[in-house]
Structure 1
């Protein structure tokens, strides 16, 4: 659009967007001393023409376009004109406003939360970071993210979180979100930015709900589940479910596993510390059934570093819902989750008399405090025997060769 085609001022958004550059830089009056500046290289910006106290005219840049649109540019120009009318220096007041805007932008709850997330980067595995960041982006940032975190009152937090619970019926997830938001404020408190936490004590007034994310079948229903898994139609997902049941690792640890972590000759899987929840390397002795399944998976899989690569991108693992959806298709929604295999193994192995220390080491459970730092014993020989026994036991359950004795009524 040529500038001689401008029909009205202030100029419309369409006009601002379509004005063409020329051989030389030029300005077009928008109104009330505000000009639209178009450079010959195509850059566009806003400038205010004003008179200095000495009577000389000068130009003051307001900002680039399209970052600053017409409506905002006119608002900023009017503020500066008001300052000039009061005898103030518009250059100084512009700088002061910019500093205040920057201070406010860094004092929003979203900015504080992102700073807190950055601090958690070295402590959380990728799945945890994705899940927690996603929960904040979905449920908190759209409503409270742009608010100054010092101005959000406890009653606002309670009403918002209660509203999410009532609307989506996600009681446990909302309690986790509340816990994160409380920690975010604690972070602001220990860094000297606030004196009290508006979420303190809020947990007493939220519905707790029932924990369903670790659902698992009873021992009597385990044989049927194992047989269903063995008949799952997609080969790689079938192997994934079999390995989850047999090795009872965390689902993300298996889903994101790479081939370089495995020493199949020595039947060992070494998960590096950066992929572990407690940031400690974890070694899993592999039973013969697992080694056989891994050889089978490797012989049929596409070329990828991952055991379970995404169909659309072999450089990424499958979606975090792959095993959840597989169990759902088998009819186990609400009855068995991928994580629930850990509960089954823990219960079964403890009931069969295996040493609790060996079971806890197999589950990669780390004690808190000094004991957790210094107790690095992994009991590999004992666990190798235990893991082989467990794989054999699952195989026998699936084959229906384990006699189940009913308890007397």
Structure 2
């Protein structure tokens, strides 16, 4: 006998009704009403598929009317007639609906908009930032559920690692995504959780990387020469030592960025921590290494090619693992070559402005950076050639050139003053060129 609204309203839990054993009343066609011991009344669709019995909760009475329950049950019968399992279909539809409120769903619309409105390089930079950071953190979350605390947790983790530029980029991109979604009214009741001027609060936190002293370099280089490591890892170490770029910049090096004739490596702005293009003069030793790698004939855009990596280039972990095997865990890192070069070049009293430019530390505005690059490039070329030669000498235990530079006749007082002001500059957003002008008088 079919159910009626009048009959349903009168139903109450029987004495036999238990928490795991509700009272059941059939309506026909697989539609049932379960009355639970709490008094709740729930419509259930019961069916058999592939020899097994299945149940699907349709809804609670009276929120779901009897007529509505019958209509939903009919849809389930139609799916069964088509040979489909209704549970699988309902699960897939729910996943699709959930996906249409996910952060990634709306971010992909913004990325599509970006692809059609910005330059190719800008789009590639945006896509990289999104895939490597934002999507991993928020991609599957409901866009309405992402809050400022979530965002700051992500950016603070990056600033603690020294990736201040990336953190600021993430804030900028998140702001753009939310502004786009709100402006286009792609979903109701959404607001932008990012306060104005928040990027100003993201300041650089210096990361201390383990590094050896130059006196320990011969032993390290001998270890790299003889270690049981992949050839590309060995070449990578040599390139880090000669160029002292960041490991990420080295691993992303492509042949398109290299000009062997001009003997320079031009790193595009989107790959640099400070967001500005960077020039690395290539010493003869570096040219020789690059030519050796090129002779292998790998079909890859990346210089440090790896067929074991999804990205097509070797990973930073290769350096970490190799140094650990050589006994340098906690003593030296791939990034440590930068600190080694910086300290040694300052000790040898090379032009501080040239050193800082080569380390890509002095950024300021793009106009001034372009001027500095042009003005200081000859000094940087000479410095990089000298540094490569000094490494080759030191790795053989010959510290003569290094020692001679330490005793060069340069005003220590002026150098100390410059370094003090440079330190102050790193602590303040307001920088001046006065110390840089003073140091030119030393040369």
Matched, 1:360 2:356: yes
Distance 1:265 1:317, change over 3 A: same
CA distance in 2, matches of 1:377, 1:263: 17
Q: CA deviation at 1:388?
A: 0.9
Partner residue in 2 for 1:216: 211
Partner residue in 1 for 2:226: 231
Q: CA deviation at 1:391?
A: 0.5
Q: Contact between 1:216 and 1:336, CA under 8 Å: does it hold in 2?
A: yes
> 1:140-169 CA distances to partner (integer Å, 9 max, x unpaired)?
x78xx347348x696x999x99xx99xxxx
Q: Contact between 1:216 and 1:335, CA under 8 Å: does it hold in 2?
A: yes
Q: 2:344 aligns with which of 324, 345, 348?
A: 348
Partner residue in 1 for 2:377: 380
Q: 1:253 aligns with which of 249, 255, 271?
A: 249
User: Superposition pairs for residues 128-167 of structure 1, below 5 Å?
Assistant: 131-133=132-134, 136=137, 145-146=141-142, 148-149=144-145
- How many correspondences in the alignment? 325
> 1:351-396 CA distances to partner (integer Å, 9 max, x unpaired)?
2111122112222334223654653524332222111100011111
Distance 1:313 1:224, change over 3 A: closer
CA distance in 1, matches of 2:373, 2:48: 68
Q: 2:389 aligns with which of 375, 389, 392?
A: 392
Q: Secondary structure of the equivalent of 2:373?
A: coil
- Give TM-score, length-normalised by structure 1: 0.59
Q: Larger Rg: 1 or 2?
A: 2
Q: CA deviation at 1:266?
A: 3.5
Q: Contact between 2:126 and 2:173, CA under 8 Å: does it hold in 1?
A: no
User: Superposition pairs for residues 6-405 of structure 1, below 5 Å?
Assistant: 10-11=45-46, 32-34=70-72, 35-36=75-76, 37-38=78-79, 65-68=90-93, 105=101, 124=125, 131-133=132-134, 136=137, 145-146=141-142, 148-149=144-145, 172=160, 193=191, 211-212=207-208, 214-233=209-228, 234-300=230-296, 302-312=298-308, 316-369=312-365, 372=368, 375=371, 377-378=373-374, 379-402=376-399
Q: Secondary structure of the equivalent of 1:136?
A: helix
Q: Contact between 2:49 and 2:85, CA under 8 Å: does it hold in 1?
A: no
Q: CA deviation at 1:322?
A: 2.5
CA distance in 1, matches of 2:358, 2:108: 34
Q: Contact between 2:266 and 2:279, CA under 8 Å: does it hold in 1?
A: yes
CA distance in 1, matches of 2:386, 2:160: 36
CA distance in 1, matches of 2:168, 2:275: 21
> Which blocks of at least 5 consecutive residues in structure 2 are unaligned?
1-28, 33-43, 55-66, 115-120, 183-190, 407-443
Q: Contact between 1:286 and 1:388, CA under 8 Å: does it hold in 2?
A: yes
- Give TM-score, length-normalised by structure 2: 0.55
CA distance in 1, matches of 2:193, 2:134: 25
CA distance in 2, matches of 1:263, 1:210: 32
Q: Contact between 2:47 and 2:53, CA under 8 Å: does it hold in 1?
A: no
Over aligned residue pairs, what C-alpha RMSD do you find? Answer: 5.3
> 1:260-292 CA distances to partner (integer Å, 9 max, x unpaired)?
332323422223344333444333221111112
